Structure 1
Amino acid sequence: MFPVGDRDLGRFLHEMGEDTSVTRKIEKIWLRQWFSCLISDLAYIHTKGVRHQDIKPSNIVHRGDLIFFTDFNSAAQCEPGCTTSTENPARKSAMYSAPEVLDRLRDDHSLTRHGTGTDIFSLGCAFYRYATCNRRSLCRLS
């Protein structure tokens, strides 16, 4: 499977810890650059009418300083800007899912509709995990 990554983002964040070596400092710079890359990548796949639907740190891998979304098994094709609903949503990680995906049934038993914004919410949750980590050296990044 290409690309074979060095680590997923979840493991990357876990391993950074309090290490202050030159390598770790370089990786912290990568991490800041990856945010803009991931946002651009997500915008691109959305313009192509694809929703990832399962964005989380373990589905983002890096190889050196390059970053990639992986695991498009849950992805769905849709018209750009569309919203959809489904009775059987893709398997999602609740920690990174938008509220409208988790609470898909309304009080009137109709299904909630959601669009590409749910991917943006999930990516924001991954960024939030980084920003609020309990490791001081990571949280001091500006």
Structure 2
Amino acid sequence: RYLASKFGCLAKAIEYLHSQKIRHKDLKPSNVLLGRDNLWLTDFGSSTDFSMLSMSATENGERGTPKYFAPEVALYERNGRSADMFSLGCIFLEMLELLR
């Protein structure tokens, strides 16, 4: 029940980041800390401010964690906020598996 209550909190956290023109770019379960009444996103080392850009492509270097890459990130294609949403979906699938 506790974990089930965190789906909306996590989605709201990502929505807030995006409203502030920030893309996390490395969303994965180990970067989500759960407290009794709170949720924290951590590891903003790969994040970017996209206030001037709507899309980006990473030529080389750190792109996050491959298991949680959106297909366009894995292919070094232009990507946007939807790449964070893909990673969020991967996290949700893992959460659902724990709830089974």
Decide whether the 8 Å contact of 1:51 with 1:78 is kept in 2.
yes
1:22 aligned partner: none
1:88 aligns with 2:60: yes
Q: Show the counterpart of 2:84.
A: 119
| Deviation of 1:31 (Å) | 1.2
Q: Which residue of 1 aligns with 2:49?
A: 77
Spell out, residue by residue over 1:56-109, the C-alpha distance to the aligned partner (whole angstroms, 9 max, x if none).
Answer: 0000001223111111111000028811112125342111110100111xxxxx
Q: Aligned pair count?
A: 100
Q: Structure 2: how far apart are the matches of 1:81 and 1:100?
A: 17
Question: Relative contact order (alpha carbons < 8 A, sep ≥ 6): 1 or 2 greater?
Answer: 2
Unaligned runs of 5+ in 1: 1-28, 105-111
TM-score between the two structures when normalised by the length of structure 2: 0.90
Distance 2:89 2:27 in 1: 10
Distance 1:91 1:82, change over 3 A: closer
Larger Rg: 1
Q: 1:89 and 1:120, CA in 2 relative to 1: closer, same or farther beyond 3 A?
A: farther
Cα RMSD between the aligned structures? 1.7
What residue identity is the alignment partner of 2:80? G
* Counterpart for residue 94 of structure 2: 129
% same residue: 37
Identify if the C-alpha distance between structure 1 residues 85 and 34 changes in structure 2 by more than 3 Å, giving closer, same or farther. same
Whether 1:67 aligns to 2:39 is: yes
Q: Which of residues 17, 29, 35 in structure 2 aligns to 1:45?
A: 17
CA contact (8 A) 1:53 1:90 kept: no
In the TM superposition, what is the alpha-carbon distance from 1:126 to its structure 2 partner? 0.7
Counterpart secondary structure, 1:61: strand
